[in-house]
Chain A
């Protein structure tokens, strides 16, 4: 199978937090040994290029958008292709004596970045521990990947630090999209990437959906639909697990936070409406239970002690899920494409799907998968789609498990002992056994399972938030381990079922309560009450596509 390329788009800060982990962990999985043949085709998401110094580069096929102060030490043009050398005043096409140089203070580079820049051996840096929990304020603080000069796009008109003019409402994002920087330059960059591809299959889009980036990604999608109509676009709207303003103390702060919750919810509703119209499939992600009006309680994952108030932590979990459930259309051997995934889940207009995760996949050291599943208590995975649980019947689902080698399936025939009594003993592969497991535990569901040998790499700069009893391969042991996990097994799934209808109904009910006319920023941005009503109606209609009698 030749490479079927995908272009990734990231809109907004939280999307970039997730994206950063995602690119980091993919690169942690690169192997340069020729005997170790990877199952994953990295050319799907990466591109090969040549720098002006004639060095071969391998960089994410990526366009990322953020506000200026969301970048800190990361230069817009990157350093890989040069261009950061200060020109002498004589090169400025002006009288040398009338040149004024204004240098901003150097933003502090995180210790990790400093070490990376100065490292003679990068491996050493990746084996060190850092206090990322304290050091990370923006995603570039833990960015290991190096980018093509096309990749980073900065919205200059807004800053996170400027509280007077926040980039907070849907129409602002649409407005910025209409500027030359996006309508011309950004779309040209998309074209440049796509033109290079021999067998381009579509887009992955990660986008913040509770701030103005919601509007921006909606406009972008509309453009993609227009210009690349036959390509698939898989959208992941993401919601941070925590908003600092929800930790209010005074009455005024409480009032402000309530307003912000309403604004975020309206952005969410407006963007879901656009994603429904213009994407092939969209899958909302959040590590907290509700997502709206507030993120709600954090979801817990086995053997992981994460701080949901740190985007650095929660985004790592979502990145692990993304990397895992997109594997199926990124393998070297499979003929499974992005469009197959979309079609399997979006039938009868079910444009919204849900995702779930088992992180790490809980398996005891030296235990076979068959016994692990036999003794499993409760559902295998946990939902990571806000306000949506994963159903146990009438599901269409794609499941991916990684890091469980076929040798862990079951005991050898001659000393399998009790395993022989289990019906699953007949299964010959990991994917067959998991499929069988789902058949036994879920009613009227269609499940397709992919198994990938390669575990998820979790070395620095991935958070070290795992239970100490996990060994270096992420298997559970009875005692505290000296070394931390270097990789972990993960199971992740994408689903469609009646529960998504329930989620859309909740969204509709909550959004209905908002008095749209009180939110001048939306109205002055050109969204009329009728538009908002229509958006709500569309969400309500979309919900109907998930009613049981339509399906299976």
Chain B
């Protein structure tokens, strides 16, 4: 644009235009995502031009599969990603509420209200909504039952009920197995293992470790009972090192000599393992497995196989820690002074071969403080769908444990907050109250869309809910099979506290940014620079 055109009036016009652009962008992605919300939302199957398949109901995943070039849209997408990173849930709601806040804002601004004042109102409403959240939250213990409720609610919005309930059980049992007192749960200690299996489709909890590799020697045992487990990070392969290499600097004899010395050195190491095995196992019913983070070459494998030792190489770094947690013992970095106290124990170790892939199960551990969720499905995209769901389930459970509370779902919080905000509005001085009213109205998008997605009329539903809420002090949500009001507590529908809190906070901030166009332009620009 030529400089001469940039008079102050043009600035205003430009700002108004930019606001219009922001609002239409927000509406645009709201429209795309609306149909996803809730247990009756639509599942989307995205097929790329090349034929790759992605199945998802997750707002955040969808936003990232769609290429977003519009700076406003990408700002909203980032809010939803942040929501996901922090809480693991609530991404569709975030987009819907931001979109609705902008729609409401549009009405007031077109009537002449200054965006600044509106934003001020949003902020007041945000603070009030947080108060409502505190009031409505329901304290819970980390009991199996209450964790199941919140996990089921979350999972039933991702996969159909039957599968959701199986996954919820697996997730809750997995976390309870590794939870120790009041210590925070380390979700990494629940490993997710995928198995692409032509005929089987189920997900189960293995109280132990499953690794995605197996023995690389034909004579090694494929199954051990009553096994000592040696977990180590010690190279058992002869590697040509820089010292004995090079064509220009050393004679062939010099090199050969060093090679022999190095090979001997490796064999010494392997002998240490063999000796310990002989000492502990020979003449008993015990057996021995080595799980090594480093390599094991065929010569070493051979030595171990001759002793009936099962040996795995190149184990995942994190599995070193997990094996120690599951089986006991410690992961050693050196084989000097190796003794029984370093070893772990498992009642059963066995290999499972599937096509070109091998898996090793370490089970029947005494007190497994690390477990594995094993997912089987016939193809990659289903595995990914289940993996995403299991992750969400685990996050939901962990949130509930950390929050020590849950929130009644099915729109109950939104209806309650709407009611209280409308009352609060009258206590707010000046036009900022319009911002509070806009906010109150915007929250209702959640119960409305939940109802619409189940085939009920949004308006009818809201009227019923508000009426019930006036009469009844208990939380009031929408029953998606009847369209009638229901107490979510009775129906077992619970959301995470932290998820709602994050939604309340981020939506008003992002929406304010978007209506304060100057700021968004700057934010937009800096987001472009990455």
Which A residues are CB-close (under 8 A) to B42?
A: 98-100
Let me know if A347 and B355 touch, CB within 8 A.
no
Let me know if A77 and B52 touch, CB within 8 A.
yes
Which A residues are CB-close (under 8 A) to B35?
A: 100
Q: Does B57 contact A (CB under 8 A)?
A: yes
A59–B482 alpha-carbon span in the complex (Å): 56
A165–B316 alpha-carbon span in the complex (Å): 35
Let me know if A100 and B45 touch, CB within 8 A.
yes
Let me know if A75 and B71 touch, CB within 8 A.
no
28 A-B pairs, CB-CB below 8 angstroms?
A50-B356, A54-B355, A72-B49, A76-B48, A77-B380, A83-B379, A85-B379, A89-B45, A93-B159, A93-B382, A94-B57, A98-B40, A100-B35, A102-B47, A104-B49, A159-B67, A162-B69, A188-B316, A192-B213, A194-B295, A195-B216, A195-B314, A200-B295, A339-B241, A343-B246, A398-B247, A448-B247, A448-B248
Let me know if B213 and A195 touch, CB within 8 A.
yes
By beta carbon, the residue of chain B nearest A159 is B67
Q: Does B469 contact A (CB under 8 A)?
A: no
Which B residues are CB-close (under 8 A) to A74?
A: 50
Q: Which of B46, B49, B235, B385 contacts A105 (CB 8 A)?
A: B49
Q: Does A126 contact B (CB under 8 A)?
A: no
A93–B379 alpha-carbon span in the complex (Å): 13
Q: Return A13 CB to nearest CB of chain B, in Å.
A: 16
Q: Does A63 contact B (CB under 8 A)?
A: no
A172–B528 alpha-carbon span in the complex (Å): 12
Take A91-B382, A95-B160, A98-B42 as given contacts and tell me if A84 and B51 are in contact as well, using a CB distance cutoff of 8 Å. yes
**6 cross-chain pairs, A with B, having the tightest CB-CB distances, nearest first:** A195-B314, A343-B246, A107-B49, A94-B43, A75-B50, A50-B356
Which A residues are CB-close (under 8 A) to B247?
A: 336, 340, 344, 398, 448
Which B residues are CB-close (under 8 A) to A52?
A: 196, 198, 355
Interface residues on A, range: 35 or more
By beta carbon, the residue of chain A nearest B298 is A198
Q: Return B84 CB to nearest CB of chain A, in Å.
A: 12
Interface string of B235-263 (1 = CB under 8 A from A): 10101111001111100000000000000
Let me know if A342 and B242 touch, CB within 8 A.
yes
Interface string of A78-117 (1 = CB under 8 A from B): 0100111111010111110011111111110000000000
By beta carbon, the residue of chain B nearest A328 is B247
Q: Does B41 contact A (CB under 8 A)?
A: yes
Q: Return B258 CB to nearest CB of chain A, in Å.
A: 13
A398–B248 alpha-carbon span in the complex (Å): 10
Let me know if A156 and B64 touch, CB within 8 A.
yes
Q: Return B349 CB to nearest CB of chain A, in Å.
A: 17
Starting from the known contacts A87-B381, A95-B43, 7 additional A-B residue pairs (CB-CB under 8 Å) come to A73-B50, A76-B50, A87-B53, A87-B55, A94-B43, A194-B314, A201-B240
Let me know if B382 and A87 touch, CB within 8 A.
yes
A344–B249 alpha-carbon span in the complex (Å): 8
Interface string of B145-166 (1 = CB under 8 A from A): 0000000000000011001000
Let me know if B69 and A164 touch, CB within 8 A.
yes
Count chain B residues whose beta carbon lies closer than 8 angstroms to a beta carbon of A: 61
A543–B432 alpha-carbon span in the complex (Å): 66
Q: Which of B51, B242, B316, B386 contacts A339 (CB 8 A)?
A: B242
By beta carbon, the residue of chain B nearest A397 is B248
Q: Return B291 CB to nearest CB of chain A, in Å.
A: 12
By beta carbon, the residue of chain B nearest A226 is B317
By beta carbon, the residue of chain A nearest B524 is A164
Take A83-B381, A194-B314 as given contacts and tell me if A339 and B43 are in contact as well, using a CB distance cutoff of 8 Å. no
A230–B237 alpha-carbon span in the complex (Å): 11
Which A residues are CB-close (under 8 A) to B53?
A: 83-84, 86-87
Take A86-B53, A93-B160 as given contacts and tell me if A230 and B235 are in contact as well, using a CB distance cutoff of 8 Å. yes
Q: Is the interface of A mostly helix, strand, loop or mixed?
A: loop
Q: Does B212 contact A (CB under 8 A)?
A: yes
Q: Return B516 CB to nearest CB of chain A, in Å.
A: 21
B residues 207-224 in Cβ contact with A at 8 Å: 212-213, 216
Let me know if A86 and B241 touch, CB within 8 A.
no
Q: Which of B44, B159, B316, B530 contacts A102 (CB 8 A)?
A: B44
Q: Return B355 CB to nearest CB of chain A, in Å.
A: 5
By beta carbon, the residue of chain A nearest B65 is A156
A104–B54 alpha-carbon span in the complex (Å): 12
Which A residues are CB-close (under 8 A) to B43?
A: 92-95, 98-100
By beta carbon, the residue of chain B nearest A280 is B242
A106–B47 alpha-carbon span in the complex (Å): 9
Let me know if B317 and A73 touch, CB within 8 A.
no
Which B residues are CB-close (under 8 A) to A398?
A: 247
Q: Return B180 CB to nearest CB of chain A, in Å.
A: 25
By beta carbon, the residue of chain B nearest A104 is B49
Which residues of B does A touch, CB under 8 Å? 35, 40-53, 55, 57, 64-65, 67, 69, 71, 74, 159-160, 163, 196, 198, 212-213, 216, 235, 237, 239-242, 245-249, 295, 297-298, 313-314, 316-317, 355-356, 379-382, 385-386, 526, 528-530
By beta carbon, the residue of chain B nearest A398 is B247
Which A residues are CB-close (under 8 A) to B67?
A: 68, 159, 162
Which B residues are CB-close (under 8 A) to A105?
A: 49
Which A residues are CB-close (under 8 A) to B245?
A: 337, 339-340, 342-343
A448–B47 alpha-carbon span in the complex (Å): 53
Which A residues are CB-close (under 8 A) to B69?
A: 162, 164
Interface string of A60-78 (1 = CB under 8 A from B): 0000000010011111110
Which residues of A does B touch, CB under 8 Å? 49-52, 54, 68, 71-77, 79, 82-87, 89, 91-95, 98-107, 149, 156-157, 159, 162, 164-165, 169, 172, 188, 191-192, 194-196, 198-201, 227, 230-231, 336-337, 339-340, 342-344, 347, 396, 398, 446, 448, 520-521, 524-525
A337–B297 alpha-carbon span in the complex (Å): 17
A278–B246 alpha-carbon span in the complex (Å): 19
Q: Return B225 CB to nearest CB of chain A, in Å.
A: 25
Let me know if A165 and B380 touch, CB within 8 A.
no
Which A residues are CB-close (under 8 A) to B381?
A: 83, 87
Which B residues are CB-close (under 8 A) to A104?
A: 46-49
Let me know if B248 and A198 touch, CB within 8 A.
no
Q: Return B162 CB to nearest CB of chain A, in Å.
A: 9
Let me know if B530 and A172 touch, CB within 8 A.
yes
Which B residues are CB-close (under 8 A) to A89?
A: 45
By beta carbon, the residue of chain A nearest B50 is A75
Interface centre among A99, A231, A396 (most CB of B within 10 A): A99
Which B residues are CB-close (under 8 A) to A337?
A: 240, 245
Which A residues are CB-close (under 8 A) to B49?
A: 72-73, 104-107
Which B residues are CB-close (under 8 A) to A200?
A: 295
By beta carbon, the residue of chain A nearest B453 is A98
A525–B530 alpha-carbon span in the complex (Å): 8
Let me know if A164 and B50 touch, CB within 8 A.
no
Which B residues are CB-close (under 8 A) to A199?
A: 237, 297-298
By beta carbon, the residue of chain A nearest B386 is A93
Q: Return B297 CB to nearest CB of chain A, in Å.
A: 7
Which A residues are CB-close (under 8 A) to B356?
A: 49-51
Which A residues are CB-close (under 8 A) to B526?
A: 524
By beta carbon, the residue of chain B nearest A191 is B314
Which A residues are CB-close (under 8 A) to B74?
A: 165
Q: Return A441 CB to nearest CB of chain B, in Å.
A: 19
Q: Return A277 CB to nearest CB of chain B, in Å.
A: 16
Q: Return B233 CB to nearest CB of chain A, in Å.
A: 11
Q: Return B406 CB to nearest CB of chain A, in Å.
A: 25
A105–B48 alpha-carbon span in the complex (Å): 8
Q: Which of B46, B52, B213, B249 contacts A76 (CB 8 A)?
A: B52
A418–B47 alpha-carbon span in the complex (Å): 70
Let me know if A164 and B528 touch, CB within 8 A.
yes
Q: Return A479 CB to nearest CB of chain B, in Å.
A: 43
Q: Which of B55, B242, B313, B314 contacts A343 (CB 8 A)?
A: B242
Take A164-B71, A164-B528, A230-B239 as given contacts and tell me if A149 and B380 are in contact as well, using a CB distance cutoff of 8 Å. yes
Which A residues are CB-close (under 8 A) to B50?
A: 71-76, 107
Let me know if A347 and B249 touch, CB within 8 A.
yes
By beta carbon, the residue of chain B nearest A106 is B49
Q: Which of A95, A102, A347, A521 contacts B46 (CB 8 A)?
A: A102
